[in-house]
Chain A
Amino acid sequence: MNDEIILQHGLTLDEFKVIKDYLKRDLTIEELGIFSAMWNEHCCYKTSKKWLKKLPTSNEIVIQGPGENAGIIDVKDNDGIAFKIESHNHPSYIEPFNGAATGVGGILRDIFTMGARPIATLDSIRFGEISTDKTNYLLNGVVHGIGHYGNCIGIPNIGGECEFDQTYDYNNLVNAMAIGHVKNDSIFYSKPKTIGGLIVYIGSKTGKDGIHGASMASDVFSEDDEDEKRPSVQVGDPFMEKLLMEGCLELMSSGLIESMQDMGAAGITSSSVEMASKGNVGVHINLDKVPLRQPLTPYEILLSESQERMLAVIERDNNEKIKEILKKWQIDYEVIGEITNTKRVVFSSNEKIVVDLPVDIIVDDAPEYDREFSLPKKRKQRNFDTSKLNIEKMISNYMNNLNYLDKSWVYNQYDSTVMGDTIKEPGQSAGVVKIHNSEKAIGASTDCNPLYIRINPEKGMMYTVLEAYRNLIASNIKPMAITNNLNFASPLDPNIMGEIVLSISGLSDIAKNLDTPIVSGNVSLYNQTNDRPINPTPVIGMVGCNSNWKKLLQNKFIKENDELIILGKSLDSDFSPYFLQDQKITSSICEFNELLAPDIDLEIKTAKFIQKAAEKDLIQSSNDISRGGIFMSLIKMTQKNLGFSIEVNDEKDIFCEYSAGYILAIDQKNKEEVFSILNKDQIDFLSLGQVKLNTFEINSKKFNYSDMLNMYYKNFYKLIN
């Protein structure tokens, strides 16, 4: 096997030597394909593994941590919540509609593979400067793709984030998260139990879509190019996924199958290898039995990433009954192999063995790197001149920046109310759905503050998690666990590697402090084009619960004359990175001050107070303070004709970022009681003003109420067209 082929498969020559020394023979091309698929960053986390091990992944509520298709937490009474986030960045840049759609499809399969019925999705999407046609095309395609897949299969999208920044000009990010509900005694795992059990293939036929590195395949393996030049982005069919989901959930509840694994990245290769590895068994699969859409070589079958496919293990006796169930759902079903006791992965075709490898070398001997990394330089402290800003200018700067505006252009393309259990739709602090036939509310939020992380990866990561935490608290959802999607540029650059190492360290610290373990996740590296890296973007999805949905807090004003108070500490303009950037004070990353250390004790203390007061029905509504400060938080709280009148010392303050920041609206009759609890708990607060009809008033300066709301709700539509 020549060096060129090895390198084209993404393996280094050193890695190849390890394999060859172990096997003491040459590899078949199919075997090389398997290593290429299993030893890449996406499947074996070779760069991040060393650091990911430091994350807290368990506590008394974690039923399943990282390592399965999704993490699962216990929300009591035999109810479990399965969730995970995953990226589809690269495919979404090449083909935004299908790239994004199949991202949603993949993450939903991860959920129902575990026996959980998906009950919600969220997303986190990032694009470059909107002024370019390319960004507009990507935004339209990605949103259309996410919407199309989720709407069709019928899972509500309940929230997410959408950011624009020039570092994503050539690398947009698409992270999709899904949440499912499962009975804790009915969880399915990928570990097979019975030697001699049949391996069955369920779902769409296998085609050429998604075969890794289509260019490689066409250069080396094919004579007739025409056919090979089909794009390597997978094509999704949500209708097929709906049938597959219903079929699989019916199979799982019938007790006819013993384990299941979805065919995601690296298709049949990774799913069968993982099965063998989890069960400490072997697999023997006859590739001639795989249902095909078109003639394919064994190599292509092994590496196809065709969508909507599952692998399951069943006892022989159940074969006919399973066939019957899947016939109803019109799904392809084929016995393609069996579980062996050899601890080897064997694939045959045409009565010839094309792959015969010990599971150990593929999984346990996968490379793990300790890449060089550098720590960020110490920052000089400086004071910024903000004297040129006045309130009109500050309002205008935020109201003409996509990142601050209402994103209904995006989320109105998603079905947020299907399944009938949605309590909080996108546009609020957190998305919330009810577990069907129960009083329990499950809330979630996806977040990342890339600019903070760029300035200081460790502290910035903490701010990111704390923002998600506040999003849940502001709705009175108890934060419980985290899924993460670590999007970074090339780890071969020690500076980027430093961002990875430090942000994982920050994530680890804050997760321990908040007792919110990381139960699932995904890593996406090499998000850079030439010398232009993306901002470090480790997105987190935080999930929590309130056992009684009636105790949830609203995020909008409820009635006139309610008292408005502020909790938390202002970061002041010199230490508010988004304020400085978006009020156009500085855009140079080296000029920002070091981030202030987040006040974790204050965050926890404040959160506990809000939960306590909410359970006693003492708070009318609340909202957290994030990018855009008190000002943006207040605008989001207005509804119908309910506006506000506030008084502040320094107008600049209401545009700055906060630590542990919340705005609470309190009924006048509860004011004294709330203040006395705050005093008793030793939590500082500031009176801000009152809810007022049709009013938008700051320090006696009156702005036109409907003009302001129109800007917030309509400017996004204007700016992208």
Chain B
Amino acid sequence: MSFKSAVITFPGSNCDRDALTYLKDLTHGEVFNIWHEESSLPNVDLVILPGGFSFGDYLRSGAMASKSNIIHDVIDHANNGGYLLGICNGFQILTEIGLLKGALIQNKSIKFLGKDCYIKKKFDNKFNCNIKDTEVLQIPVAHNEGNFYCDQETLSYLQNEELIAFEYCRGEGSIDDGNINGSLDNIAGITNKNRNILGMMPHPERAYQDFHVSKDGKKIIESILS
């Protein structure tokens, strides 16, 4: 059976086309683009909440999108074990919905950060199972609110349950000085307890083609498909 996936577009999403292209190029299956006002999702294996500034980031990043019509079905999809990936603004939306713990607050530098960053895998899950523990991925980030924050209890929970998927590091792999935005424990991406929902700040859909900075972003889709 061929792999099916969908990308949700909110007003202000600006990485929806990038995510659609990424899925089409790498899954070779059917890819749907779903407008936020739709009430139901087609039957798919993976849903991406793309990056951007949904609803202008007014109120708080991701806050208004988390109340969109389609979100009920996105929650159902995840509760039924479907894969759900939130990238950048998508990660922010997932924390606003409550599907993922913590929050993304303003970067420590109080400036937008658009550059390549390095991340590596922390704990194993379906989104990173094809990536070696020592491997360093080079992937662009572009965010103003990417600084992962939560209370100490939640942080311990994420550590103990092994829900941290990716952490920022330096090019050669050391964690020291690799933190680009002030995130607690260098967290770049986390999953839910069932490990079928991943939120991450870096943009894998900007790192997979020949002319991109790297092809490391491929590894996430390859992991899911494996």
Residues of chain A touching chain B, judged by Cβ–Cβ distance below 8 Å, are 144, 147-148, 151-154, 237-240, 242-243, 328-330, 408, 411-420, 422-423, 434, 436, 549-550
Contact = CB atoms under 8 A, between A and B. Distances in A.
A423 B206 CA distance: 11
11 contacts: A152-B14, A152-B56, A238-B53, A415-B112, A415-B114, A417-B140, A418-B15, A419-B18, A420-B209, A423-B211, A436-B21
Contacts of B58: 239
Given A154-B53, A414-B112, A419-B18, 12 more contacts: A151-B144, A152-B14, A238-B53, A243-B11, A329-B11, A414-B114, A415-B112, A416-B142, A417-B203, A418-B142, A420-B206, A423-B211
Find the residue from A237, A417, A418, A422 having the highest chain B CB count within 10 A. Answer: A417
Contacts of A144: 111-112
B206 to A, nearest CB: 5
Interface string B13-50: 01101100110000000000001010000000000000
Contacts of B213: 417
A330 B11 contact: yes
B132 interface: no
Find the residue from B15, B114, B210 having the highest chain A CB count within 10 A. Answer: B114
B113 interface: yes
Nearest to A155: B14
Nearest to A143: B111
A154 B52 contact: yes
Nearest to A416: B114
A710 to B, nearest CB: 14
B205 interface: yes
A418 B57 contact: no
A329 B55 CA distance: 11
Nearest to B53: A152
A151 B211 contact: no
B11 A408 contact: no
A144 B113 CA distance: 11
A415 B203 CA distance: 12
Contacts of B35: 328
Find the residue from B111, B112, B144, B213 having the highest chain A CB count within 10 A. Answer: B112
Nearest to A243: B11
Contacts of B211: 423, 434, 549
A77 B68 CA distance: 41
B22 A420 contact: yes
Contacts of A414: 112, 114
B14 A154 contact: yes
B48 to A, nearest CB: 13
Contacts of A154: 14-15, 52-53
A417 B56 contact: no
Nearest to A437: B21
A413 B206 contact: no
A242 B12 contact: yes
A330 B205 CA distance: 28
A416 B116 CA distance: 10
A417 B205 CA distance: 10
Interface in B133-154: 140, 142, 144
**Size bracket of the B interface:** 20 to 34
B107 to A, nearest CB: 10
B72 interface: no
A236 to B, nearest CB: 11
Contacts of A434: 211
Contacts of A237: 56
A243 B205 CA distance: 23
A418 B18 contact: yes
A640 to B, nearest CB: 8
A239 B65 CA distance: 14
B115 interface: yes
Interface in B53-75: 53, 55-58
A636 B205 CA distance: 28
B188 to A, nearest CB: 16
B65 to A, nearest CB: 12
B206 A417 contact: yes
A330 B55 CA distance: 11
A418 B37 CA distance: 24
B85 to A, nearest CB: 16
Contacts of B17: 419-420, 436
Contacts of A411: 114
Nearest to B52: A154
A423 B209 CA distance: 10
A434 B210 CA distance: 12
Given A152-B56, A418-B142, A239 B114 contact: no
Contacts of B12: 152, 239, 242-243
A240 B14 CA distance: 13
A408 B116 CA distance: 12
Contact of B115 (A153, A330, A412, A423): A412
A238 B212 CA distance: 27
A412 B205 contact: no
B205 to A, nearest CB: 6
A238 B14 CA distance: 12
B117 to A, nearest CB: 11
A419 B209 CA distance: 13
Nearest to B207: A417
Contact of B114 (A151, A242, A329, A330): A151
A148 B12 CA distance: 13
B56 A238 contact: yes
A36 to B, nearest CB: 34
A413 B14 contact: no
B53 A239 contact: yes
Contacts of A422: 206
A362 B188 CA distance: 58
Contacts of A153: 14
Find the residue from A148, A242, A411 having the highest chain B CB count within 10 A. Answer: A242
A238 B52 CA distance: 12
A151 B112 contact: yes
B114 A412 contact: yes
Contacts of B11: 239, 242-243, 329-330
A35 B114 CA distance: 44
A346 B112 CA distance: 46
B22 A417 contact: no
Contacts of B210: 550
A242 B14 contact: yes
A412 to B, nearest CB: 5
Given A152-B57, A423-B211, A408 B14 contact: no
Contacts of B21: 420, 436
Contacts of B55: 239
Contacts of A238: 53, 56
Contacts of A408: 115
Nearest to A432: B211
Nearest to B11: A243
Contact of B142 (A148, A240, A417, A549): A417
Given A242-B11, A413-B112, A419-B17, A151 B56 contact: no
Question: Which 7 residue pairs spanning A and B have beta carbons closest together?
Answer: A154-B14, A239-B56, A420-B18, A415-B142, A415-B114, A417-B140, A152-B53
B69 to A, nearest CB: 13
A148 B14 CA distance: 14
A240 B12 CA distance: 9
Contacts of A240: 56
Nearest to B110: A144
Nearest to A329: B11
A377 to B, nearest CB: 47
A328 B58 CA distance: 19
A129 to B, nearest CB: 23
Contacts of B142: 151, 415-418
B140 to A, nearest CB: 5
Contacts of A419: 14, 17-18
Contacts of B111: 144, 412-413
Find the residue from B37, B52, B55, B209 having the highest chain A CB count within 10 A. Answer: B52
Nearest to B209: A420
Nearest to B22: A420
A412 B112 CA distance: 7
